[in-house]
Structure 1
Amino acid sequence: MSERVITPRNRGFLFIDSHPAGCARLVHDMWQAVPSATAAPDRAPVALVIGSSAGYGLAATIAGLARAGIRGIGVCFEKAPERRTGTAGWYRTAATADLARRHGRDMVFLNGDAFSDAMKEQVADLIEHRFGGRLDHLIYSVAAPRRTDPDTGVTYASVLKPIGRAYRTKTLVFDGDGAPEVRDVESPAAEGDDTAQTVAVMGGTDWERWIDHLAARGLLADGFTTAALSYIGSSLTGAIYRQGTIGAAKAHLEETARMLDERLGKFVGGRAVTSVNGAAVTQSSTAIPGIALYVGLLRGVLGDAMVPPIGQLTELWDQLTGIRPLDLDDEGRVRLDTWELDPGVQAAITDRWNAATTATITDLADLDWFRSEVLRLYGFAVPGIDYTTPVETDVPWPDPAS
């Protein structure tokens, strides 16, 4: 037993520990927010979610289980509890597995390097021997700092930089006492092979490799669908995001989707799409200059009209499973971000962005919501949790055999 009281300790938006009970409650609340399952257990589709423990990948996993009634496999990379607590994704995965079991869903979670061929082979073996040898859906939601190419052994590192020239933008920070400050921050321009390296990590190469590996094993069901989760965002953050190195990776992801869509259509009558999601507070997004300020202002404009990840991914599953037809834009992308990019909404955010200073920010952005969202990423500030009570931190990884 390793019970102790856990309090939030952070360096900026990065927290050192996470709270198991808070993470479990968040997963439970997300599940409760999803309408009832649409598939009977004997017709449950088999799905693979790559990047299943955080952000939109977690939402895809929970919405898939609760709404689409999926069974299958989630793949993620999390740290076990040792001297410190486990990562928040470790505890979220344990809670998701527990809920899946209680609802009769056969969901296996694997912890390891999704970029490796060894993980791909382990997943393929599970699909063949445990899930009837046919995969119906694959969701790809991977945000990683680096990737090692299995063929060459070369490790690539992704960077968040503008392309062409340095970029100066506003950003939101909190001081040691939690007081907000709007600062200017400058990001140096990408140089050398920065863009190529970022594309190698965050583009569509590994997604395509997964499809090729599973297809070579004969594991793609007729009508197989796959979606890679993406983001476009506002022109206010465009220079560092969509027009930056990460944007080049997203463009490569979309090119990969079009190529895979053509191949899968001929091969199994299947589809491949990118799903463009709306803004949210995630562990990945808080690292991007300007995004924290933008999301806080977006919440200030929309309030509860913001669509959370679980709502967006419920909509995606409805489209992938045929409850609703695939609603694609002219470039073949599912658009779950129309509420964010509405011209009136963007005009209101732009006005607030231009007016945002340390003196005005509390009137323009919903900072209480933003702070709470950041804390909840690590299981803190969750209603109904007593943070003065010791909690067990040594939570085991879900047993695939159970």
Structure 2
Amino acid sequence: MSERVLTPRNRGFLFLDSHPAGCEQLVADMWQACPDPANVPEGAGPVALIIGSSAGYGLAATLAGLKRAGIRGIMVSFEKAPTERRTATAGWYRTAATADIARTAGRDLVFLNGDAFSDTMKNEVADLIEQRFGGRLDYLIYSVAAPRRTDPDTGTTYASVLKPIGQANRTKTLLFDDQGVPEVREVETGPAEDDDVDQTVAVMGGADWERWVDHLAGRNLLGDGFATAALSYIGSPLTAAIYRQGTIGAAKAHLEATARTLNELLEKTVGGRAVTSVNGAAVTQSSTAIPGIALYTGLLRGVVGEHMVPPVHQLAALWDQLTGAAPLTVDDEGRVRLDNWELTDDVQAAVAERWEAATTNTIADLADLAWFRAEVQRLYGFSVPGIDYTAAVATDIPWPTYTP
């Protein structure tokens, strides 16, 4: 097993390597931060399928589901193994750490690595539910953020884009140079053209979520009362032009329409529910790619400080609602809202004021830059408290296996 001293090497917010020990500690910290349930689940626990389980809110859903609901079941993600030149992706190491926690907790979780959009993966999951988990699925959490998707029926590959709709958008964004010096810069993004909207909806809308539910229903694997949630985001008016009103927003609207369609179907067939869960802001590998989101998130943290609700706390609340430990509360669009702490009038007014005042010269006084930069590094296992980054660490960590 190879050992190396790893230091962060990055191009903007994208890091070339990940730190296994840091990723492991980060998962352990999330596990400890997740609140304990009022009543510890007993017995085998409900069967859950989490698609996109290795990062961001999907990882939070996995850990919160383990602790709050005592889930067992199948976790699906798409990660790269270590090579001679590169470490594995951070999600690979986070998955290995999550598997260790599940084993210690006595929960039977199977971790699959592959293309969640493919029918091959859907068949593998269905077979496992049938053969290993008694032929009944209780919950499905859908948390997939991908740049492209190949339709299994047609073989067509769609690519998503981050563009406004109708006209170009000019917005502030936050960057750091190689020495970590912050810069607030204005960037312009041209409007969606040709089939950009359709392509983005095909990748990030509800088509694959619906396909998963249809596939499992076709195999008679949905238990009575089956519930499914797709994780989503609305965000601030400050980022709406590039996000909620842009191509990604069109995909989110399609996701929400899909939830209403699925909810009607599931109510009739298994007495079940389908919802979208609108989560609050967080630093994720996906969000840092969106113009303006980094600046907004840093300013938001500057306003709310320690009152910023971490993903694992938000997903604990979602699991409580899905399992009946708390009432399932939805808005007029059928969405569970976990972002209320972020979108209050006073918080948004304070962030908007800072946004207007934000320049390269003022940003250090307006945003929590130390927190934001550390959060970005922690996505890859760096800047995690308690880790000795001068020590060599084993990088060839195996993917969690299971006994058939």
TM-score bucket of the superposed structures, by smaller chain: over 0.9
Letter in 2 for 1:26: L
Partners of 2:220 and 2:243 in 1: CA distance: 37
Partners of 1:172 and 1:378 in 2: CA distance: 19
User: Counterpart in 1 of 2:289?
Assistant: 287
**Deviations 1:123-147 (CA, angstroms, capped at 9, x unpaired):** 0000001011100000000000000
Letter in 1 for 2:75: G
Partners of 1:58 and 1:394 in 2: CA distance: 21
Deviation at 1:47, TM superposition (A): 0.2
Asked if residue 17 in structure 1 is aligned to residue 3 in structure 2, the reply is no
Asked if residue 161 in structure 1 is aligned to residue 153 in structure 2, the reply is no
Partners of 1:303 and 1:393 in 2: CA distance: 34
Letter in 2 for 1:198: T
**Deviations 1:45-87 (CA, angstroms, capped at 9, x unpaired):** 1000000000000000010011110000000000000020000
User: Counterpart in 1 of 2:57?
Assistant: 56
Out of 333, 336, 358, which is 2:335 matched to? 333
User: Counterpart in 2 of 1:310?
Assistant: 312
Deviation at 1:35, TM superposition (A): 2.4
Letter in 2 for 1:260: L
The SS at the match of 2:115 is: coil
* Contact 2:75/2:111, CA 8 A, preserved across alignment: yes
Partners of 2:295 and 2:270 in 1: CA distance: 44
Partners of 2:210 and 2:35 in 1: CA distance: 32
- What RMSD, in angstroms, separates the aligned Cα atoms of the two structures? 0.8
Partners of 2:35 and 2:281 in 1: CA distance: 22
Residue pairs, 1:191-230, within 5 angstroms: 191-230=193-232
Residue pairs, 1:242-253, within 5 angstroms: 242-253=244-255
Deviation at 1:401, TM superposition (A): 1.6
* Contact 2:9/2:17, CA 8 A, preserved across alignment: yes
Residue pairs, 1:386-401, within 5 angstroms: 386-401=388-403
Deviation at 1:40, TM superposition (A): 3.3
Letter in 1 for 2:375: E
**Deviations 1:84-106 (CA, angstroms, capped at 9, x unpaired):** 00000000000000110011010
Partners of 1:327 and 1:392 in 2: CA distance: 45
Unaligned runs of 5+ in 2: none
Runs of 4+ displaced beyond 2 Å: 35-41
Alpha-carbon spacing, 1:41–1:125, altered in 2? closer, same or farther (3 Å):
farther
Partners of 2:295 and 2:20 in 1: CA distance: 28
User: Counterpart in 2 of 1:124?
Assistant: 126
Partners of 1:285 and 1:217 in 2: CA distance: 35
Partners of 2:168 and 2:115 in 1: CA distance: 33
Asked if residue 36 in structure 1 is aligned to residue 36 in structure 2, the reply is yes
Deviation at 1:294, TM superposition (A): 0.1
Asked if residue 139 in structure 1 is aligned to residue 141 in structure 2, the reply is yes
The SS at the match of 1:49 is: strand
**Deviations 1:274-294 (CA, angstroms, capped at 9, x unpaired):** 000000000000000000000
- Give the total of aligned pairs: 402
**Deviations 1:154-203 (CA, angstroms, capped at 9, x unpaired):** 00000000000110000000012110000000001000000000000000
User: Counterpart in 1 of 2:325?
Assistant: 323
Partners of 1:221 and 1:176 in 2: CA distance: 52
Unaligned runs of 5+ in 1: none
Partners of 1:383 and 1:36 in 2: CA distance: 23
**Deviations 1:306-352 (CA, angstroms, capped at 9, x unpaired):** 00100100000000000001111111100000000000000000000
The SS at the match of 1:110 is: strand
User: Counterpart in 1 of 2:298?
Assistant: 296
**Deviations 1:251-290 (CA, angstroms, capped at 9, x unpaired):** 0000000000000000000000000000000000000000
Letter in 2 for 1:199: V
Residue pairs, 1:226-241, within 5 angstroms: 226-241=228-243
Letter in 1 for 2:19: H
Residue pairs, 1:99-110, within 5 angstroms: 99-110=101-112
Letter in 2 for 1:269: G
The SS at the match of 1:295 is: helix
Deviates more, 1:240-249 or 1:28-37: 28-37
Q: TM-score, normalised by structure 1?
A: 0.99
The SS at the match of 1:337 is: coil
Out of 248, 258, 261, which is 1:259 matched to? 261
Partners of 2:126 and 2:302 in 1: CA distance: 45
Partners of 2:305 and 2:88 in 1: CA distance: 32
Partners of 2:130 and 2:366 in 1: CA distance: 53
Q: TM-score, normalised by structure 2?
A: 0.99
Deviation at 1:43, TM superposition (A): 4.6
**Deviations 1:354-377 (CA, angstroms, capped at 9, x unpaired):** 000000000000000000000000
User: Counterpart in 1 of 2:366?
Assistant: 364
Partners of 2:293 and 2:149 in 1: CA distance: 24
Letter in 1 for 2:168: A
